[in-house]
Amino acid sequence: IQTVHLANGAEAVGLFTSDAANAEILGSLFDIGVRYVCLRSVGYDHVDVEKAKHLGMKVANVPEYSPYSVAEHAAALLLAVNRKIVLGQKLMDIGDYRIDALKGFDLHGKTVGIIGTGKIGRAFAQIMNGFGCNLLAYDPVPDHTLQSLINITYVSLKELYKYSDVISIHCPLNVNTKHLICKEAFACMKKGITLINTARGAIIDTMALIDALDEGTVGFAGLDVYENEKRFFFEDVRYQKNGDDLFIQLRSYPNVLVTGHQAFLTHEALTGIAETTVSNLNEWAERGYCKNDLF
């Protein structure tokens, strides 16, 4: 709300996932003349869509850019936590060349469960297929084209939890998926599972994840997102006290690797986001609507 005044004189604003567009902020933007909200992201869980609709504001997202950017980062997190790349580098830095603590496991032949097989989940499935993994998937709308390309089986969530050695999350955050991975979900999983999340932080109940780490249900976790990340992600907080004790506790585990919501950050993805954002603005200017309108 403190930055709303920066949009004075503008008809449109461009927002990223770290920005908030709740009812109060949208109302304030509307009061100063903003009529268009251009999202530089696929997800729009940070926007009160119903409020925007009520005000008559237009909202458009970037429905796709480079799905490979996020899918490849998910694979990188999986490899890094499994093969203990960060620990290995730290040992190298101090001249400790012992490898006793660096044992991982072959991905080949393991069962990888993929939650959400949209464009990103589909790309991740193809990467894991290349590693020789057995693939399970859950999605309310199965991708039959993907099934014709690779050997992937759609199952229920409970089956996916039960049989997967690795679970990677690629679904949107909404009322149905918030805290989808919770205490009850962890109770269904194999002991020592590897959990990867490059989607949205709030899909995982962080307290439940910490309990699962303590109990050994989760052997490794690779996370590019965190449910309370808006407090400090994308900011330089080196000289500020981070009051998020939950995040500090999560990062204290040696078998947890957290990156700062950077999975999308490739040249190709940024180019795609910029091009679609400009296209949305141009369509609004020329026609009053665009093909990526959310409603």
Residues with catalytic function: 200, 229, 261
Asked if 195 and 222 touch (Cβ cutoff 8 Å), the reply is: yes
Cα separation, 92 vs 77, in Å, equals 20
In what side-by-side order are the strands of the sheet with 12-15?
Answer: 12-15, 36-39, 58-60
CB within 8 Å of 30: residues ≥ 6 apart: 55, 57
CA dihedral 73, 78, 83, 88 (to 10 degrees): 50
Token readout for 44 is: 């729009």
Closest by CA to 40, choosing from 60, 64, 57, 16, is: 16
- CA 74 to each of CA 9, 168, 188, 243, 247: distance values in angstroms, whole numbers, following the listed order: 41, 8, 23, 28, 20
